Amino acid sequence: MKDPCAKRLCRIPPYLFAELDALKAATRGDIIDFGVGDPDLPTPKPIIQAMNRALKNPAHHRYPTYNGMAIARQAAAEWYERRFNVKLDPETEVCMLLGSKEGIGHLIWGMVGPGDRVAVPDPSYMIYRHQTLLAGAQPVMMPLKEKNGFIVDLDDVRDKSRLKLMLLNYPSNPTAGVASRKFYEEAVALAHKHDFFVVNDNVYSELYFEHKPISLLQVPGSLERCVEFHSLSKTYSMTGWRIGFAVGNRDLIKAMLAIKQNTDSGPFQAIQEAAVYALKHGERFAEANRAVYRERRDELLQGLNRIGWPVRKPEATFYVWAKLPRGRDSMGFTRQLLAKHQVLVTPGIGMGPHGEGYVRFALTAPKIRIREAIRRMARTISAGPPAASEP
Ligand SMILES: *Cc1c(COP(=O)(O)O)cnc(C)c1O
């Protein structure tokens, strides 16, 4: 029989979170899940009510437009201007998405193919590297190092003029690093100098604890060759709804749309109406979510500190990127934690070679569960985590 899989599937490993799901399903007991970055908080009621009203409109039961409803693109553009002071043309510089994951994947397919090189942070959200590989292009990994606050060292990126695209993600999943204006300015200047394009995945722009993260598009000249992704998923606890948007350079947006037109038909219009409500009136929900994640962050950090595992304090995102106290084997550590204590984290190695030596806690469990996890882990940590493959 012929292999049912396309040859390109050999280029990517199995999806990490599907693997963790399998590991979780095979584990008995009361699991405390800090694995996937999926908010446990419900979508705010007024957003659900906006959706309920929109559902009754028969116009929404038909195919949506490919780039999203005009009112949704307008609301996204207005939100961007309010939040980042960046003016966008809602006709050409905004595109609604079925979640930013979809848009990131389709933008990569619209922009690169065999012979193209794409710079990808390491560690990072796996989609960047996997979609690059599926599209037949070559990922060039950019290591994120703790000594640089997990900000890409742009001097490290070799052969910049051979790059087609540089993918960035600040605030960063999984490291929680936050980029400065100076960093974005340097990235845009290099993009102009060496003729490549830059995409920033800014889905965590609203989950901050200290300073408000900025946008790549605040850099003058960035609209000529940059795109930024945003999502309602994490900000308003709407991961299941599948709604996000891309903003920025019209030619890049057009390339993404060309793939989308041949793949999907845009987000359900009732969901877009709910998104309009969230973009217009959602700041109070974002604020409330930040307060919850901040308390959880502090609970986890204090707890880990108490049991002898001090970790770096995240300034944004809902992740704690924890360096293993001893040992380099993040997968072994993750398995051990799950088997012994029914505590699930994400092994750093799953997000790139430079993620090794770390695990990621998503702050998607309530404080009482965080406390319980600390209690369970105390023994393992003080006894010393696995040193199996320590160099
Ligand atoms: C969760 C996440 C996404 C995907 O968000 P959706 O809008 O739900 O598709 C994209 N990028 C990063 C870095 C994420 O962590």
Q: What is the CATH number of domain 7-43+284-381?
A: 3.90.1150.10
pLDDT value for 345: 96
Of 15, 100, 237, the residue with max ligand 1 atoms within 8 A of its CB, to mutate for a pocket test, comes to: 100
Q: What is the DSSP letter of 146?
A: G
The strand ranges marked E within the chain are 32-33, 94-97, 117-122, 138-143, 163-168, 197-201, 226-231, 244-248, 319-323, 343-344, 346-347, 358-362
Tell me if 42 sits within 8 A of 366, measured CB to CB.
no
CA angle 74/39/174 to nearest 5° reads 90
| pLDDT, position 384 | 55
Chain segment 213-235, per-residue pLDDT in tens:
999 999 999 999 999 999 999 99
**C-alpha torsion angle, residues 147, 152, 156, 159 (rounded to 10):** 170
Q: Are the beta carbons of 315 and 293 closer than 8 angstroms?
A: no
pLDDT in tens, 25-74: 999 999 999 999 999 999 999 999 999 999 999 999 999 999 999 999 99
Q: Is the model's pLDDT at 327 over the cut of 90? A: no
Residue 383, pLDDT score: 60
Query: CB of 235 closer than 6 A to ligand 1?
Result: no
pLDDT digit string (tens) for 155-198? Answer: 999 999 999 999 999 999 999 999 999 999 999 999 999 999 99
Cα separation, 77 vs 74, whole angstroms: 5
Contact 241, 271 (CB under 8 A): yes
Q: DSSP label at 142?
A: E
Per-residue confidence (pLDDT) for residue 390, from 0 to 100: 37
Residue 100 CB–ligand 1 contact under 6 Å:
yes
User: Is the peptide bond between 121 and the residue preceding it cis, with omega within 30 degrees of 0?
Assistant: no
Q: 61 φ, ψ to 5°? A: -85, -5
pLDDT computed for residue 388 by the predictor: 41
> Using a 6 Å cutoff on CB, does residue 99 contact ligand 1?
yes
Q: pLDDT tens-digit profile of 248-270?
A: 999 999 999 999 999 999 999 99
Average pLDDT over residues 365-370: 97
Q: What is the mean pLDDT of the chain?
A: 95
Q: Give the per-residue pLDDT at 19.
A: 79
Ligand 1 centroid vs 219 CA: distance in angstroms?
Answer: 23
CA of 100 to the centre of ligand 1 (A): 6
What CATH architecture applies to the domain 46-282? Answer: 3-Layer(aba) Sandwich (3.40)
| Percentage of residues of the chain with pLDDT beyond 90 | 91
pLDDT tens for 264-314 read 999 999 999 999 999 999 999 999 999 999 999 999 999 999 999 999 999
Ligand 1 centroid vs 345 CA: distance in angstroms? 18
Distance 101 CA to ligand 1 centre (A): 5
Q: Which atom of ligand 1 is closest in space to residue 97's alpha carbon?
A: 7
Atom in ligand 1 nearest the alpha carbon of residue 104: 10
Q: Please, what's the b/e burial string for 199-227 (b: 16 or more CB within 10 A of its CB; e: otherwise)?
A: bbbbbbbbbbbeeebbbbbebeebbebbb
| Residue 101, pLDDT above cutoff 90 | yes
Q: Which of 315, 4, 252 is nearest to 108 (CA)?
A: 252
Distance of CA 121 from the midpoint of ligand 1 (Å): 15
Q: Is the pLDDT of residue 391 over 50?
A: no
- Which runs of E-coded beta strand occur in 39-172? 94-97, 117-122, 138-143, 163-168
pLDDT at 389 over 80: no
Q: Is the beta carbon of 241 within 6 A of some atom in ligand 1?
A: no
pLDDT band at 379 (very low <50, low <70, confident <90, very high): confident
Q: Which of 38, 130, 167, 231 to mutate to test the pocket of ligand 1 (most atoms within 8 A of CB)?
A: 231
Question: Does ligand 1 have an atom closer than 6 angstroms to the CB of 269?
Answer: no
- Nearest 10 degrees: Cα torsion 41, 297, 315, 37: -40
Atom of ligand 1 nearest to the CA of 124: 13
User: Per-domain residue ranges for the chain?
Assistant: 7-43+284-381, 46-282
Q: Which of 175, 203, 256, 346 to mutate to test ligand 1, by most ligand atoms within 8 A of the CB atom?
A: 203
pLDDT of residue 328: 72
pLDDT value, residue 14:
80
Cis peptide before 347 (omega within 30 of 0): no
Query: How far apart, in whole angstroms, are the C-alpha atoms of residue 45 and residue 298?
Result: 27
Ligand 1 pocket, 121 CB below 6 A? no
Q: How many residues does the chain have?
A: 391
Contact 373, 343 (CB under 8 A): yes
> What's the CA gap between 22 and 346, in Å, rounded?
13
Report whether residue 282 contacts ligand 1, using a CB cutoff of 6 Å.
no
